[in-house]
Amino acid sequence: MLFALAEELDVPVGLHVGLGAPDAAYSGGGYRMAHGNPLLLEDVLVRHPELRLYVMHAGWPFLDELIGLLHAHRRVFIDIAVINWVLPRAEFHGYLRRIVEAGFGDRVMFGSDQMVARIDRHRRGGRGVRGVPAEEQKRDIFCNNAARFLRLAGRPCQS
């Protein structure tokens, strides 16, 4: 019902997918990595083809599944929040590079979802994006893609 309403009102939806806190399943939180597979969203996307949805944390570590979902559903975007500072830099760069090389760099958003709001994590996350080769891709990730996803026409991104 919520997805139908979001689709009808054209309200974007973000869903936490992929990683959870380490040992969350054992600390009473009940989190299971298997439930973080982005392909589990496909039934919702098929039932609601006009739904604008973004996958938080780029669905890490489910890269192949994420790329398949992006290929099959053009309204799906991703954010790279948390993985851009919590993962080792080489892992994050490889993950992001593969998404961009697969042709989905225009659907990657920086995102601000942090488990603890600390400016140093945002800075570290921003520095992590420097592994993407082209300046235009960085501008897209930091601003243009989100502006397009959120339909913020007339609000140009700063260079």
At 71-128, the pLDDT tens digits run 999 999 999 988 988 889 899 999 999 999 999 999 999 886 665 555 555 555 556 6
By CB atoms closer than 10 A (0-12, 13-18, 19+), residue 50 is exposed
pLDDT tens by residue, 7-43: 999 999 999 888 876 665 555 667 778 888 999 999 9
Question: Taking the domains of the chain in order of start, what are their residue ranges?
Answer: 2-149
Give which of 31, 102, 24, 12 is closest to 66, Cα–Cα.
102
Q: What is the pTM of this model?
A: 0.87
Query: How many Å apart are CA 96 and CA 102, to the nearest integer?
Result: 10
Q: How many CB atoms lie within 10 A of CB 147?
A: 16
And the tokens for 149?
């996803």
Name the superfamily (CATH) of residues 2-149.
Metal-dependent hydrolases (3.20.20.140)
